[in-house]
Chains A and B, each alone.
Chain A
Amino acid sequence: MKASTNVNLPKARKKKINWKSYIPLYLMALPALIYLFINNYMPLYGMQIAFRELDFSGSIFDGKFVWFDNFKFLFTTDDAWIMTRNTVLYNLLFIVVGTIFAIVVSILFNEIISKKLAKAYQSAILIPYFISMVIVSYLGFAFLSSETGFINHSILKPLGIDPVSWYSEPKYWPFILLFVNTWKGIGYSLLLYTARILTISSDYYEAAKIDGATKFQQIMNITLPLLKPVIILMTILAIGRIFYSDFGLFYQVPMNSGALYDSTTTIDTYSFRALMKLGDITMSTATGVYQSFVGFILVVASNMVLRKYSKEDSLF
């Protein structure tokens, strides 16, 4: 925990602090601090596995230090390129398409006058958000399985189109994953954006109407500019997480199918497979260290942007 020395402790002038009176407060903080130590700080020590040679005879902390050899090996493989490309491109795709779609949906949703129907719609499209990725993969399998899937059996077959073996054709997966991600998340995005739209004073719209502005002009000149802060905020936050992916989405939905690895492997699924399926602990740790370091730089950078732009939304 070298980094903690960077923090400015309270200055010595506060000598009169009655430490005793704070003991109960420290005790209250203790359980969470112990947990953070176990769950978040001890793994930092475990990161050294990435810099060691795997020692089959004893503990993983006994292997000889080989420093960056594991990383050199990782980055000479195609895997490193593929998983980085996929993670970043999928995130960019999700950010761009997801945001535009969410805005369109929220704006049109806002035009629905009937409160009852609006609530019904909102409930319906929020349901997928509450379902685990395992169940989502069951749903996906019901649609995509090659012999019994709904799409092959009930749509393509009657149309006289040859069935597609979805789970072995990488080219379809960017679309499928984008669809599933949007399907699962749109309800939540709608919540966030409509919450902001509702705070826009109706005075603006009234004034615009008196001036003869069309609905489209109102959207372009009032709604969108006022939504801009939320859009930028969400985008910066998402960019900060661009090196991380939804493990469940990329592992469960493609059913971890080997034929699809080219278009479904992300840093998270690669790390998982290296650990659980191949037992390659050093490679998996090296991947994790790579992700953590680049992720850290991105989070700190996006936070710096955020702080300039909107101080109260920044982390620190």
Chain B
Amino acid sequence: MIDIKERKWSIAGHILMIILSVLAIAPFILLLMSSITDETAALRNGYSFFPEKFSLDAYKYIAGQWEVIGKAYLVSIFVTVVGTIVGVLISAMLAYTLSKPDLPGRSLLMFLLIFTMLFNGGLTATYIVYTQIFHIKDTIFGLLLPNLLMNAYFVVMFKNYFEYTLPAALVESARIDGATEFRVFRSIAIPLSMPMFVTVGMTTALTYWNDWTNGMYFLSTNSKIQSVQTILNNINENIKFLQQNNVGTAVSTADLPSVTIRMAIAIVGILPMLALFPIFQKWFVKGATAGAVKE
């Protein structure tokens, strides 16, 4: 039974959530509308939710540029898949080792891991090591390496999961049956910790797909291995450059894709994310809530 006073709270909740939902989605609609606007109309009326003239020219242009955009897609997909698999796997393997309470040197290894969360060399020192010692500039490693073991916190989460939820009897009996440590990890730890793997994997994949900083640091502007986000960022950098140097419009338009094309590229960059959103969301909610309700 819901009385009137309680309904007030419910109505207030609906109103607030409707406002927030509109605010969350409206910018994307503006982006989409701008991308299907006729170029001259876009210049005359600016970004608009109700363009006066529609045109798919921007998408036709992108289709024509598919060699560039398509390649960027392949780079993004490759980096996301490889980075996620390798990153999650090495994190989990380290965590599995750390989950053995009687491991000699466990506290030292644990310290080496935790210390990375407390103290870091900073952007420049990291940049110098990667470029001067490992020369990852303009290679695919520039997009892969800097995020690989993204967060020591994941290792700790994995470690706790292995330590407290893997049935010790099952692991023990497998060992008695002659299974190697790696076999136990592969056939028992991984299958029984699938929710953990998926949650960490999703977060890592999201970071890789959305990353534009590594492209900015480690790829030169004419590099052949740009990811989708790197292309979007480079366009942005050009806009910034033109704004800050007040170059005449004649120069600016030559260098820069038009407004509608820019928006169309952005839409193309968002699309995979939105398509996978329901799957991402499901695991993401699971992961976030699992973290929040532990007692």
Contacts and interface: CB of A to CB of B under 8 A. Distances in A.
Interface of A: 3-4, 6-10, 14, 17, 19, 22, 24-26, 28-29, 31-33, 35-36, 38-47, 49, 59-60, 104-105, 108-113, 117-118, 120-121, 123-128, 130-135, 137-139, 141-143, 145, 147-150, 152-154, 167, 183, 186-188, 191-192, 195-196, 198-199, 214-215, 230, 247-248, 252, 255-258, 268, 271-272, 274-276, 281, 284-285, 287-289, 291-292, 295-296, 299-300, 312, 315-316
B244 A42 contact: no
A32 to B, nearest CB: 4
Given A28-B181, A36-B113, A255-B243, A131 B210 contact: yes
Contact of B134 (A38, A45, A49, A275): A38
B21 A33 contact: no
Given A36-B116, A108-B9, A135 B46 contact: no
Contacts of B14: 112, 117
A145 B239 CA distance: 11
Contact of A149 (B28, B47, B213): B47
Interface residues of B, number: 111
A195 B294 CA distance: 10
A249 to B, nearest CB: 12
Contacts of B43: 148
Contacts of B107: 7-10
Most buried by B among A17, A25, A45, A291: A25
B232 A138 contact: yes
Query: Main secondary structure on chain A at its contact with chain B?
Result: helix
Contacts, number: 319
A112 B10 contact: yes
B124 A258 contact: no
A199 B98 contact: no
B48 interface: yes
Given A19-B104, A59-B132, A26 B122 contact: no
A51 to B, nearest CB: 12
Given A44-B120, A132-B211, A275-B124, 19 more contacts: A28-B97, A29-B94, A60-B128, A112-B10, A113-B2, A117-B17, A121-B17, A125-B20, A125-B24, A130-B277, A135-B266, A154-B48, A192-B288, A215-B6, A252-B236, A275-B127, A287-B124, A299-B117, A315-B118
